Each structure stands twice: as structure tokens, then as C-alpha cells.
Amino acid sequence: MAEEQVKKRVGIFSLTCDEGCSIYLTEIFNQKLLGWLERADLVYFLSVKNKTDFSGLDIALVEGVVTSQKDKEELEKIRSNARVLIAMGTCAMSALPSGQRNTFTPEQKEEIREHTETYGFLPRALALKEVVKVDDEIPGCPISEEIFIKTFERYLT
């Protein structure tokens, strides 16, 4: 009997966004989840479980934008615990639509100023790669099903 392969430790994280990619991922799961669980442990995914474990991640899938100081600190923590960090979707890759505020008119910026100051927003909303090293990207809003499966399975083996 072949020796059992050590399962990859996978975390799925949401920064500022609508969580559309992780929701769409739960739809990709309909066909794929049970097969993937033979090769991976989901150690962090708040949509599915409460008990979480950040440490020693083989793959970190991150959706969303770095819009606040808290987002930035969380992303840095994920990066320091992950061997491979994959940016998932348009938000993570381009900072939009949260980054719409980067190009607001001075009047619009004034309208939102009190809120952004109260809640520790950064001067600009940032894509992941503006903050940490990103190893791979999966485009789409939400993520392309085909590219996600291809990319994820490459890191699973």
C-alpha cells in the first residue's frame, strides 16, 4: 500500500469585498469538494467553520482589497504563515471596486472622510500585490471556475 500523502493545509481568507469569490468557490465545491478533501485540509474558512488555524499554511487563497489598516495587518499575517499566497478575483488583483474611492472627486472624498478616519482606512485602497508578495493570481469577478480548478490543483499536487 502506498504511503499516505501529507495533506496540504489550505486557508481561505476574505479582506474587504462582497465575498463573491468564496461564495462562488462553494459552488465550485458542489462538484469538487469531496475529491479535494482527500488531498487538502481546510484549516481556515470562516464561511464553513469556526475553529481556525493560521499556522503553516501550504496555500492561502485571499479575496478582497486592502482598504483598512486592519486588512493590511491581516494580509501580512497570512503572508508570513503561508508558503504560497494566491490572489483570488478582481478585487484582490486590482483593488476594485473598493478602490473606486481612490478616484473620487474632492467633494466625494470629503463626504466619506469622517467614516474613513473613524474606521482606520488607508489613504488608498490597495491590491494585494501592493502590500505583500503574491505568488499567483486567479482572475474574474467572480473567479473563473476553469482557471481556479486548474491553478488550485496545480498547487495541490
Partner 1 sequence: MHSCNLDIEINKLSKIEGHADLDIRIRNGKLEEVTLKVMENVRFFNQAVQGKSFASVPQLVSRICGTCSIAHLTACIEAVEKTLGVVPSAQTVLLRKLTMYSLMIRDHALHLYFFVLPDLFGIDSILDLADDKKELIHEALHVKEAGNNLSKLVAGRAVHAPYEQVGGFSHEIDPSRVPILISELKKVRPSVLKLMDIFYNCSWKLERKTNFVAIATPDFSFLEGKIKSTSGSVIEEKDYWDHLHNVVLPYSQASGFQFEGKEYMVGALARMNLNKESLHPSTQKDAAKYLAVFPSDNIFHNNLAQAIEILHSLDHSIELLRSGEFKKEEPAKPTRQSGEGVGAIEAPRGTLYYWMAIDEGRVRYLNLVIPTAQNLINMRGDIKKIVEDACASGVFPDELEEKIRREAEKIIRAYDPCMSCASHFLRVNLN
Q: 31-38 contacts: CB < 8 A, separation 24 or more? A: 32/149, 36/152, 36/156
Closer to partner 1 by CB, 65 or 134: give it. 65
Please tell me whether residue 2 adopts helix, strand or coil conformation: coil
Closer to partner 1 by CB, 84 or 96: give it. 96
Shortest reach from residue 96's CB to partner 1, in Å: 9
Question: CB-side exposure of 121: number of CA atoms within 13 Å?
Answer: 19
| Cell reading at 5 | 500523502
Q: How far is CA 16 from CA 39, 43, 53, 114, in A?
A: 29, 21, 20, 19
Name the DSSP class of 16.
Answer: B
Residues that bind partner 1 (CB under 8 A): 14, 16-24, 26-27, 29-31, 33-34, 37, 42, 46-52, 67-68, 71, 97-98, 100-101, 104, 108, 111-112, 115, 119, 121, 141-142
Shortest reach from residue 80's CB to partner 1, in Å: 19
Closer to partner 1 by CB, 18 or 135: give it. 18
Closer to partner 1 by CB, 49 or 150: give it. 49
